[in-house]
Copies of this chain bind each other. A is one copy, B any other.
């Protein structure tokens, strides 16, 4: 049971955690904190939070569990704002998409990574933002990756693991650098491709016509290009090296396409397309239906 949960950043991610925990009946009081008063008032109206403040130090003062759901670029300032304001037994966790930068920010602010800080990342989301977009089932059957360090308090890790399990999530513990490489490949790179494709088309003279003739597949494919630009700027900068490596790897793949098309190497193209189709189809066959299509 959580007596007082402080959520810094009551958007899609923070709001959905609040709703899920309330739904599970495992939280007593939820304090919201954020920069937009309008969003916090809406969160109050929707019953997602019980009260709010715009001051992170006040939000965390009496909390036994603190969830940071701010953009990665705001993580360091948030740590600074709550430093020295926490109860000894308070557990802190976060939802940042890159774990290396969160830990680096914590180390910079606290001198060392606090033992009761458990870096985490729920692998869930939609392209929408704000508390209006939040819903209690967001994390159901989704994976949540926690990346504890050697100095992480086992009791804190256990509490955060149970927090996510109460939301219906499957919790995994993983090495931090490994997490950041996996996410670069499966999330950050695809977002670059979607943003890049829409931008490349939008910058062309005939862009109106291009979008007019785009089929349903195009709009599905580019759905993630409607994600929040600030959040994605922060992710790119925070996961610079693994993402740079994936961009290079993908660039090589595209050069193979360009060469095969130019030389008319149909066998090579068919082989690549078949390998991709087989990989995707066989993986999805093994997934529960709600995660596939």
Contacts and interface: CB of A to CB of B under 8 A. Distances in A.
Interface of A: 73, 123-125, 127, 142-143, 145, 182-183, 185-187, 189-190, 192-204, 206-207, 209-230, 232-234, 236-237, 240, 243-244, 247-255, 257-258, 260-262, 264, 266, 269-270, 272-277, 279-281, 283-284, 291-293
A186 B214 contact: yes
A192 B145 contact: no
Given A257-B192, A257-B196, A283-B211, A277 B225 contact: yes
A113 to B, nearest CB: 23
B280 A226 contact: yes
Contacts of A269: 232-233, 236-237
12 contacts: A143-B213, A182-B210, A186-B214, A192-B257, A194-B276, A195-B273, A220-B224, A222-B276, A226-B280, A236-B266, A237-B261, A247-B258
B261 A186 contact: no
Given A186-B210, A187-B214, A236-B257, 13 more contacts: A125-B215, A182-B213, A185-B201, A190-B217, A192-B257, A198-B279, A219-B292, A226-B284, A229-B273, A234-B266, A236-B269, A237-B264, A243-B261
B222 A223 contact: no
Nearest to A199: B276
A122 to B, nearest CB: 9
B273 A232 contact: yes
Contact of A213 (B73, B123, B277): B123
Q: Is the interface of A mostly helix, strand, loop or mixed?
A: helix
A142 B195 CA distance: 25
Number of identical protomers: 2
A222 B224 CA distance: 12
A225 B257 CA distance: 14
B233 A270 contact: yes
Contacts of A224: 217, 220-221
A204 B246 CA distance: 11
Contact of A244 (B186, B219, B258, B283): B258
Given A261-B243, A269-B236, A186 B198 contact: no
Contact of A240 (B204, B227, B261): B261
Contact of A276 (B202, B234, B249, B284): B202
Given A219-B284, A230-B270, A269-B236, A253 B199 contact: yes
Contacts of A266: 73, 233-234, 236-237
